[in-house]
Amino acid sequence: MPDPAAGRSLLLVLHDVAPQTWPDYQPFVETLDTLGDIPMTWLVVPDFHRHDPLALAAGFRQMLDRRLQRGDELVLHGYHHADDSPPPRSPRDYFMRRVYTHEGEFYSLDRAIALERLQAGMDLFQRFGWPLAGFVAPAWLMSEGTRQALRTLPLQYTSDPGHLYRLPDFTPITAPGLVWSARSAWRRGMSRMVCDWQLARFDLAPVIRLGLHPVDMRHEYSRRYWMRTLQHLMQQGRTPLTKSAWLASRQAG
């Protein structure tokens, strides 16, 4: 495999990974595995929507154990992936929490509650023997309280749509990403146009992130797009890496 520090990279990231969403991802992942060694970063939710706890999903956890053995990375992705905070009080908060998404779990948490959930997720990873370097908030939405909590924990990075951030200082590293909104046909069509434009714009970027979601896997149009885009970027010479491996390659360089 080419030296990642000397060339361009791509990061394939699976969002919202949970027992409930694995049937969406499974055919896509199995197809990817036939193409060779393509490391993936799995954003794992400990208790998806409060009714899909990892603690009760032994078979699913064994699958993730095997992914780690292949060289994939598991990342903490919220805890419940559902916004259960008190109702929004401002027009901006209403838009962010009721229009933009209903899943911004860490958008309005104070430091104490954010720290409690982060620690619970870290404890779960430790219980299952999973190494943990990163945290990604659902919908990339983090309150100031969440940021304060992250500064106190032994995690190495977090991210938003355009950057990775080294912790505890939130040192930004540009890492542009592609993501779809695939809930309807018009959204899928618009996502295709926007991502094609972004691909051209990011052509010389050191890294491009591909942010896949379970809903993308439910539509052939979006599934085929992600597969074609991944293969295209690899044919261009981009090296697929996990987030931690890419950050390590930058530090080494």
Residues in the chain: 253
Query: Nearest to residue 233, comparing CAs of 35, 45, 10?
Result: 10
Q: According to the 3-state scheme, what is the secondary structure of 197-242?
A: HHHHHCCCCCEEEEEECHHHHHCHHHHHHHHHHHHHHHHCCCEEEC
Structural domains of the chain sorted by starting position, each given as residue range(s) with its CATH number in brackets: 4-252 (3.20.20.370)
pLDDT of res. 105: 87
CA distances from 235 to 129, 201, 240 (A): 35, 18, 11
Q: List the alpha helices (DSSP H) in the chain.
A: 22-33, 58-70, 91-94, 111-128, 144-150, 185-201, 220-235, 243-252
Give me the residue label for tokens 């394939």.
12
Q: What is the DSSP letter of 95?
A: I
**10-residue averages of pLDDT along the chain (253 residues):** 63 97 97 95 95 94 98 96 64 50 77 97 98 96 96 97 96 96 88 95 96 96 96 96 96 65
Which amino acid is present at 61?
R
**Which pLDDT value is given to residue 148?**
98
Q: Is 15 within 8 Å of 77 (Cβ atoms)?
A: yes
Is the bond preceding residue 19 a cis peptide, omega within 30 degrees? no
